[in-house]
Amino acid sequence: MDCIYEGARALYIQPEECINCGACVPACPEEAIYFEEDLPEASLPHLEDNERFFTETLPGQSAPLGSPGAARKVGRLGVDTPRVAAFPRRATET
């Protein structure tokens, strides 16, 4: 599927385009993808934040991304939600 969009520091799943096939769960090298019902409580804020990536106008953009239909059409956006952008950088990040 092509429903995972690339921000600057994180990837975001377009909830309307995801077909719940589960292919991304084992593919994620960070083991950061969960089915909604299995999401650890501590990670619940990420669920809403993920949606905001598509529904709110991101810094430097003129309109919300919405549902483009395929991530490959959009390419790397190079921008994150304010919550993700504010996370301290890890040593391995460039």
For residue 50, give both structure tokens: 């993920």
Helix, coil or strand: residue 11 = strand
Q: How far is the CB of 27 from other proteins (least distance, A)?
A: 7
Residue ranges with strand state E in 7-93: 11-13
Residue ranges with strand state E in the chain: 4-6, 11-13
For other proteins, the closer of residues 26 and 60 by Cβ is: 26
Map residues 17-46 to x or -, x wherever contact with other proteins holds by CB under 8 A. Answer: --xxxxx-xxx-------x-xx--------
Q: Which residues contact other proteins by CB under 8 A?
A: 19-23, 25-27, 35, 37-38
